[in-house]
Structure 1
């Protein structure tokens, strides 16, 4: 039998402590998500409603098929910056008329939906996901364009948004724009470059320059409607393909457009799947509050894969990395999961072989992170850890099957790279509230700086300031700890969201379904030179 046996004891003190720590982190995360959901705050939400308009997430909800989930992406974008959490944009994956779509919606309660630097990065990430997975894009538009005080960070890179739309269309990936209010200046190109555009009578306004700008540039007097209203674009310019009476009618028409796209998945849905044999609730008590304490990732695998059924690959070799085959929501999957944290030469070689096998079989890969990085020390350097770690990173870099990453615990140093961190283009990357990621752990980094400072003082014959050293180490540890936390990293879009561990199977299932809209094909050769 290949069904995983669980040794987890929910009645143990260790489990209770782990669960309590995780619930505390989830409570703090809920508060951060609430800030994004609040948009511009009660005053601006009330003003928006007083105009008879729906909120961004209400528009998304009406667009989606009844009783279907919405996988929101990057909800904490801009956290810790000078801009509001969420970056005045909602992005995510949902089902419209049976078609999985990438959906974006401006939040006009936040500075009129104006785009700041984090809005741009969030939108570009959404386009990247749509392109890689061949997901139709539906844009729910209401934005005053660029946030002008930050234009220096938006204007030059912002052109990529419109480039992406044309590339999506050229790749036969449909794009639909529904304009609920203003779409001005550069933002006018969003409906202008979409395959299908819906505009709303007396609400939608699309123009390169509004009346004040036109008056300044040409001396011409004009009004919003004649310059860029829905009636004009539907009857005169031809920009509007569909003319809606109100917001509900616009959403209805957008759904009909998607229904007529004839957009098909490259792979059929696998049908019903056997649920795991263990309760997802128990995922709360697996990861220790102190990430220096190891845990068995098989306990996680047993609670997310179909039937808790897992065929382990090389179980007796390179034992601090668990590799094996499973199915998740019916989709075949290769899993790489850190067991004891450190990656040695054997683990690196094992990973490289396993990744090659997945590419031969066209099977997506899931990386479950809990690593402090590759092992250091004289014996390990002499044993070839550099070339063996490079072998694993080579395999990850040149693998062509889709990759999914979940940061459960630590994800430090080059181990983050070898386990397909953000720089290695996973199709999706999520973190648990327990995760931490940095060049190394806070204590190790502070210790390295202390050793370097001591050596420098000794080389110059200067006395060493022990009190200053202790103070510096404390400051560095606090800084690295803060910068390692998932909410900090998520705010910078280094992941696609921080998720509740109990939702992991659902989130990964939605991602796998989206991935299979595009062909899933592994590398046919094409790996770099493996140094043996």
Structure 2
């Protein structure tokens, strides 16, 4: 029987309002995801004319049918390069995620060449670099389905080129770490993009369409005056027979993906890991669908984070740690799909006692090798004379120190507010959790907009008094509104996720499935033996 007894009244007016508000945000999330699909599908006639599959069809052909696929960075680049919420397309011209290929859990990167011909975006590059890092940390074979116009020369930014080199460095690191990398060359990959196949361990080139060259025909003519042909410069057929850059020549997209699947199957990747532990577990007693009605979209309205935990953990059963000490912070021991975890959630800001409790709890999780799940809903660490004199700086710092140094996996969820140093203590993006997802109602930032505005208004009044003049209340009110607008414009989950400050936005009702998949991925990584070498696989 569950230790926690839910107090949620599913028929209440507040539940109905919460659910309505949350479902509106989820619908907005789905509409944004669909916007990217629709934009890509507009080029379907072009793909069909060239005898190609669309990017989404390529992904579906690559993945094992019926197996889960965890989409990552679904909001990348949203409101970043195009600030108009009515036209901005999320995804960053890439499709990223973890899925199964021939029974092997892989990191997958598909260039969405239906959008801007797959040209690089700022958010897409950051997301792709993040996916590479996850692949190395989680020991996942890295498969890239390539077709990209490369950098957009009409919108050239030197920093994108400079930091773009990380994509190639990361491929070198993956290979040297013993993690296989693979490219299917579906279309052009020129200039810097030529190093995507050049630095991958396995390259499959598609006839007629696949092409990799340091300079395409236009660039070669501009640079040297030579009139050259793209196929001679870098066609898959040439690379398969002349340079050796292509190992496998495919007749078309579908054939290339079939070769990729066969190749992954033949390297017998799973021989070096323990099988997923099939611990028996019970589903939650309480319906996870109720999460849409439990959590208010307004973070200033309180609720009990235990109600969230009870709909995520096995059997709705958890043991609370130090329940009477620092009670505004809830630390729990539980399991998710048979994987034992520690879990911390917020019922408000951290006081000194809560920070001390959390630090103790993190150390115990580290000692017992329990992954820690962070359910973020906090406005930060409490300020004020009493809090300061109790050692809030010292105790908050120890909590952040513990989060920084635990050796166990960290899985963070922004499920409400995550402001200021509270975000740091709850393993925000700067602390590189293994997985970090936002709910669509989440708000993050240095502080709430209203708090920032009120703070600066107080400062303005104090400065006026020091000068011996009356505060200009009209100017202060104008400044207050401006600051509030600036902060609130940047705090929504869609805005921050567009800037790649998480691994994506998810439907709250998918939380248990996402966490279960993530914990399985982590378990595989912890139990996999790699065979690193000094420099990675070199093409000679």
**SS of the residue aligned with 1:472?**
helix
Q: What is residue 447 of structure 1 aligned with on the other side?
A: 454
Q: What is residue 57 of structure 2 aligned with on the other side?
A: 58
Question: Contact (CA 8 Å) 2:414, 2:437: kept in 1 or not?
Answer: yes
1:285 aligns with 2:293: yes
Deviations along 1:232-266, one digit per CA (max 9) or x if unpaired, are 11111111111111111111000011112222364
Q: What is residue 79 of structure 1 aligned with on the other side?
A: 78
1:139 aligns with 2:147: no
Distance 1:323 1:495 in 2: 23
Q: What is residue 12 of structure 2 aligned with on the other side?
A: 12
1:173 aligns with 2:179: yes
Question: Contact (CA 8 Å) 1:413, 1:439: kept in 2 or not?
Answer: yes
CA pair 80-95 structure 1, distance change in 2 beyond 3 A: same
Distance 2:448 2:345 in 1: 19
1:331 aligns with 2:339: yes
Deviation at 1:398, TM superposition (A): 0.6
Deviation at 1:282, TM superposition (A): 0.4
CA pair 41-477 structure 1, distance change in 2 beyond 3 A: farther
Say which of 294, 315, 325 aligns to 1:317: 325
Question: Contact (CA 8 Å) 1:4, 1:309: kept in 2 or not?
Answer: yes
**SS of the residue aligned with 1:103?**
strand
Taking structure 1 as the reference length, what is the TM-score of the superposition? 0.94
CA pair 276-2 structure 1, distance change in 2 beyond 3 A: closer
Q: What is residue 529 of structure 1 aligned with on the other side?
A: none
Deviation at 1:436, TM superposition (A): 0.7
**SS of the residue aligned with 1:269?**
coil
1:106 aligns with 2:149: no
Deviation at 1:375, TM superposition (A): 0.8
Q: What is residue 213 of structure 1 aligned with on the other side?
A: 219
Deviations along 1:259-281, one digit per CA (max 9) or x if unpaired, are 12222364431225421111111
1:371 aligns with 2:378: yes
**SS of the residue aligned with 2:332?**
strand
Taking structure 2 as the reference length, what is the TM-score of the superposition? 0.93
Question: Contact (CA 8 Å) 2:380, 2:419: kept in 1 or not?
Answer: yes
Q: Which has the higher contact order (CA 8 A, sep 6+)?
A: 2
Q: What is residue 194 of structure 1 aligned with on the other side?
A: 200
Q: What is residue 426 of structure 1 aligned with on the other side?
A: 433
Q: Structure 1: which 4+ aligned runs deviate by more than 4 Å?
A: none
**SS of the residue aligned with 2:5?**
coil
1:343 aligns with 2:350: yes
Question: Contact (CA 8 Å) 1:36, 1:75: kept in 2 or not?
Answer: no
Question: Contact (CA 8 Å) 1:267, 1:518: kept in 2 or not?
Answer: no
Deviation at 1:39, TM superposition (A): 3.2
Question: Contact (CA 8 Å) 1:39, 1:45: kept in 2 or not?
Answer: no
Deviations along 1:375-426, one digit per CA (max 9) or x if unpaired, are 1110110110110000100000011111000111111110010000000010
**SS of the residue aligned with 1:336?**
strand
Distance 1:409 1:476 in 2: 21
1:399-410 matches, cutoff 5 A: 399-410=406-417
Gap runs ≥5 in structure 2 = 83-88, 529-540
Distance 2:118 2:158 in 1: 18
Question: Contact (CA 8 Å) 1:199, 1:250: kept in 2 or not?
Answer: yes
1:416-495 matches, cutoff 5 A: 416-495=423-502
**SS of the residue aligned with 2:304?**
coil
Distance 1:459 1:203 in 2: 72
Q: What is residue 532 of structure 2 aligned with on the other side?
A: none
Distance 1:256 1:273 in 2: 34
Q: What is residue 260 of structure 1 aligned with on the other side?
A: 266
Say which of 128, 132, 151 aligns to 1:127: 132
Deviation at 1:41, TM superposition (A): 6.4
